[in-house]
Amino acid sequence: MAEFSPLAESIYSGNGMGQHYTNPEHTVVQRSVALVRETDGKSVLDVACGRGLTSLALTKNTDVEHITAFDINKAAIEELDKTARKEGLPIHAVVFDAAASEGYGSVVTPESIDVAVAKDVYPFLTPDNTRIMLSNIHDALKPGGWLLITSPSTRSRLYQEAEPTGTPLYRKLNQAAKDYVQTDLDYFTFSTIGNIAELMDDNDIEMVEASHYGRAKGWIMALGQKNNTLLKR
């Protein structure tokens, strides 16, 4: 495992999740729970779920009936699958790529998802793969479904440490990301939610909420599909 700064380590150390990613009181997890409650969501997709922090919180705090949770990290999925089976939770945990070019048809029925959550996978993806991910999520959502997506804020220490002379930290994070996802990933971005906004029009998705949470040091945004196209079907 590469060496990283203490802050980076707290986020990407070990098998990839520091305290930041194991705290069920995390603001983003709480916002996910609130969104599923507000929309009375029964069918949820947890994109790049890691160990399933959000999925687990949703099964405990909402009336969700089915969650498909996937990640490319096999160890994280095995852990979540074991927990879900042991506790009889309605979580279907699978190893899958968020930017799969064939779409999500093999893991979820198209237009079957009420709420999709993609928490902090965005920095791992190239802009092209982010575009593919958004398109895949769009196709998985029911018309009028919701996506909640987060990315590190440019106001976070992580970002500020890396800019403008942060090449060494960037490299370390890149290596950490590679080590963690155990694949030939060769990209780690510091892009922000603003870049996602630029991709949204391409994907017939509109931003309806964007917030910065100081404690979580991340942006969170709820996206709703533009109904005009899909409802005409």
Ligand X SMILES: C[S@@+](CC[C@H](N)C(=O)[O-])C[C@H]1O[C@@H](n2cnc3c(N)ncnc32)[C@H](O)[C@@H]1O
Binding residues for ligand X (CB under 6 A): 16-17, 21, 48-50, 53-54, 71-73, 76, 97-99, 119-121, 124, 181
CB atoms near residue 222 (< 10 Å): 20
| Closest CB 203 distance from ligand X, rounded Å | 17
For the CB of residue 71, give the shortest distance to ligand X in the complex, in Å: 4
Q: Indicate the residue among 92 and 226 with the shorter CB distance to ligand X.
A: 92
Nearer to ligand X, 95 or 230 (CB): 95
Smallest separation, CB 104 to ligand X (Å): 11
Residue with Cβ nearer ligand X (97 or 114): 97
Alpha-carbon 229 to chain mean position: 25
Closer of 71 and 114 to ligand X (Cβ): 71
Q: What is the DSSP string of 60-121?
A: HHS---EEEEEES-HHHHHHHHHHHHHHT-SEEEEE--TT-TT-STTTS-TT-EEEEEEES-
Distance CA 4, CA 45 (A): 31
Q: How far apart are CA 35 and CA 119, in angstroms?
A: 14
DSSP run (H or E) holding 230: helix 227-230
What element of type H or E holds 224?
strand 218-225
Whichever of 73 and 203 has its CB closer to ligand X, that residue is 73
- Report in angstroms how near the CB of residue 226 gets to ligand X at its nearest: 25
Q: Which residue is nearest to ligand X (CB)?
A: 50
In angstroms, what is the minimal distance from the CB of 181 to ligand X?
4
**Residue 50 vs 145, nearer CB to ligand X:** 50
Residue 1, amino acid: M
Give the shortest CB-180-to-ligand X separation in angstroms.
6
Distance CA 68, CA 190 (A): 27
Are 139 and 214 in contact, with CB atoms under 8 Å apart?
Answer: no
Cα(111)–Cα(92) distance, integer angstroms: 17
